[in-house]
Amino acid sequence: LALEADLKQALLQGQFDLHLQPQIRFSDRRLTGLEALLRWQSPSRGMVPPDEFISVLEYAQLMIPVGYWVIEQSCQILANLQQQGLADLRLAINLSTAQLNDPELPAFLDKMLKLYPQAAGSLEFELTESLLASNIPDTIASMQQLKARGFRLAIDDFGTGYSSLSYLRQMPVDIIKIDKSFVFGMLDNQADFDIITSTIAMVRKLGLEVVAEGVETQAQAKTLQQHACDIGQGYLFSRPIPSNELVSRIQAGL
């Protein structure tokens, strides 16, 4: 409860920040996009990781307003990157169930696109498998609202939820993000290796893009590249970067 009260203050008092984690295209090892990750700098608790407050935001019905803040910040970051000559980077935003099901989301996005027209081709939304598990027709309808506005859709943490393969068949998704738990084990564990390489092959055969999360070593990156993974994200390339350091870090080559 104290946490809930503090989170209400956090939005009003500007205690949230976005950290941006680089995504690298294996073919040329260049920066291709960024994932926005919410951070809370609490005056009394210090830096609180999202695992400890996202579920409280959901429970307290604060995820939608905080999510609007995340979307507007992300649009501002894209506009700022464009001003610095970094126009072709994509920016991925995590959406929770409540956010995808929010009937006001399309109107909010239309407002953002009026203010930040360049965001249309650059924004991506990440949805988790658990989110997709309930009410498939409504979920597909919500996803189509996003697709109609030019946004790309990714399935996050792929492989950790239920009935993954049926999503691939039914849902208008563009990108699959293989969960980091598979990447961590891929060079030590034959099953993880087989899951990774066959998932990459399947996703590409379906004409979708595949991202590996949690890439921590050069050996992992090399193997992922050899097996035609499109994009990597992980501490090997960069930790998430505070928004105020982003441009200088990109200009310095990360």
CB of 216 to ligand G, least distance (A): 5
Residue 152 interacts with which of Na ion, Mn ion, ligand G, none, CB < 5 to 8 Å by class: none
CB of 37 to ligand G, least distance (A): 4
Residue 37 interacts with which of Na ion, Mn ion, ligand G, none, CB < 5 to 8 Å by class: ligand G
Nearer to Na ion, 10 or 93 (CB): 93
156 is a contact residue toward Na ion (CB under 5 A): yes
157 is a contact residue toward Na ion (CB under 5 A): yes
Euclidean distance between CA atoms 157 and 114, whole angstroms? 31
CB of 40 to ligand G, least distance (A): 10
Q: SS3 string of the chain?
A: CHHHHHHHHHHHCCCEEEEEEEEEECCCCEEEEEEEEEEEEECCCEEECHHHCHHHHHHCCCHHHHHHHHHHHHHHHHHHHHHCCCCCCEEEEECCHHHHHCCCHHHHHHHHHHHCHHHCCCEEEEEEHHHHCCCHHHHHHHHHHHHHCCCEEEEEEECCCCCHHHHHHHCCCCEEEECHHHHHHCCCCHHHHHHHHHHHHHHHHCCCEEEECCCCCHHHHHHHHHCCCCEECCCCCCCCEEHHHHHHHHHCCC
Of 10, 24, 70, 131, which one interacts with ligand G (CB under 6 A)?
70
For 75, what's the count of Cα atoms within 13 Å in the CB-facing half-sphere? 19
Contacting range for ligand G; rule: CB under 6 A; set: 93-101, 161-169, 195-203, 219-227: 93-101
Of 6, 102, 129, 156, which one interacts with Mn ion (CB under 5 A)?
156
Euclidean distance between CA atoms 64 and 208, whole angstroms? 29
CB of 149 to ligand G, least distance (A): 19
Site for ligand G in 225-244 (CB under 6 A): 234-235, 240
Residue 214 interacts with which of ligand G, Na ion, Mn ion, none, CB < 5 to 8 Å by class: ligand G
Binding residues for ligand G, how many (CB under 6 A)? 22
Window 116-155: contact mask with Mn ion (x via CB under 5 A) = ----------x-----------------------------
Measuring CA to CA, how many Å separate 157 from each of 87, 179, 183, 227? 27, 4, 11, 19
54 is a contact residue toward ligand G (CB under 6 A): yes
Nearer to Mn ion, 6 or 97 (CB): 97
Residues 33 and 23 sit within 8 Å (Cβ to Cβ): yes
Binding site for Na ion (CB under 5 A): 156-157
Binding site for ligand G (CB under 6 A): 21, 37-38, 49-51, 54, 67, 70, 94-96, 156-157, 180, 213-216, 234-235, 240
Binding site for Mn ion (CB under 5 A): 94, 126, 156
